[in-house]
Amino acid sequence: MSTQRTQVAIIGGGPSGMLLAQLLDRQGIDSVVLERRSRAHVLGRIRAGVLERGMRALMEEAGVAQRMRTEGLTHSGVLLGHGDQRFRIDLEELTGHRVTVYGQTELTRDLYDARGARGGAVIHDVSDVTIGDIRSDAPEVTYHVDGQPHRLACDFIAGCDGFHGVSRHAIPEASRQEFEKTYPFAWLGLLSDTPPVDAELLYTSSARGFALCSMRSAARSRYYLQCPVTERAQDWSDSAFWEELAHRLPADMARNLVTGPSIEKSVAPLRSFVCEPMQWGNLFLCGDAAHIVPPTGAKGLNTAASDVRYLYDGLRQFYKTGDRGGLDGYSAKALARVWKVERFSWWFSSLMHHFPDQSEFDQRMQMAEFEFLRSNRAAQEALALNYVGLPY
């Protein structure tokens, strides 16, 4: 078995793992990234792309923000609709901050290009990953590539390998607590090379269910429809999707809808999930390995970024001064923010979606909540503060 030595082993080559690696590298801290899929697969995944202020700042700090600055779409507001009612939340006026629409695929590509330019190690197509000795000062990761065993010795392990990865399960079951809520609906998404229905995102609810109008660029749109969890994307023709979307939009926006052939269609179930703690010995969980939020409000990638911020700060402090304070406090600090984000995503999802067991009273309460939000500045400010991103 071949053995390699690094300071930080990063399991998972998605955006959180690659962002952490890039930040560490710029501080002279060595890392190796292990990814179970190919580079082409990772860069082909289509994901959300609304970046909070904190995520943008991390991209700047990592030295990978050039394309984001030139190609990203800056939004100073967001639209909310209910039936034919619609109003705008002025994010910049309420908070002094804006968000940036920049596809996660492009962000990940920027991180891979930067990693390659600096000669950083990313090992793809790994299998049989096992984490060992995480309670000691000499943890290790063993894995296979092309059937050959390898061992990676390190000081710390960052588990950025998602909900189905091995990292979370390395924490003994008796020592971790998991909280989960599954929602009784999913999102049917369609990507198309068509201009967006509006210059800003629209979250809207109708008697037929929720819809989201978003975009990847001025010429590429991403739309979503609330659907049953049993729905299959292949059962929806493009024309059926466009027709249903038009029914769910406020009338004036439905008239602006430009349709076209889909590039991709998919169905994503909604759930909330949190694992406590987010660290065990010298293993630290980041992103979906520790928590998942519904996509309402685009908090998944952004919450992973806050984990990276806290872990990066702790590692930098340790290698600069030998002080473990930031690392030992990582889980408590990360979870304090995670639960606030979980609350916002749960609230926003509850406001905008139809639930199968919803009574007439529940519907009226939803309408009252929407009207209160439409007419109350303090409520709008609370939404805006969460939408642009809570401070780290």
127 burial level (CB within 10 Å; 0-12, 13-18, 19+):
exposed
- Spatial distance between the Cα atoms of 390 and 392, rounded to a whole number of angstroms: 7
- Spatial distance between the Cα atoms of 379 and 389, rounded to a whole number of angstroms: 16
- Spatial distance between the Cα atoms of 193 and 278, rounded to a whole number of angstroms: 40
Residues labelled catalytic: 75, 203, 295, 299, 387
- Spatial distance between the Cα atoms of 327 and 310, rounded to a whole number of angstroms: 8
For the chain, state the CA radius of gyration: 21
Q: How many Cβ atoms from other residues are within 10 Å of residue 388's Cβ?
A: 23
- Spatial distance between the Cα atoms of 269 and 163, rounded to a whole number of angstroms: 14
Beta strands in 95-201 (DSSP E): 99-101, 121-123, 127-132, 140-145, 148-153, 156-159, 177-192
**H or E segment to which residue 342 belongs:** helix 330-352
Cβ(158)–Cβ(314) under 8 Å?
no
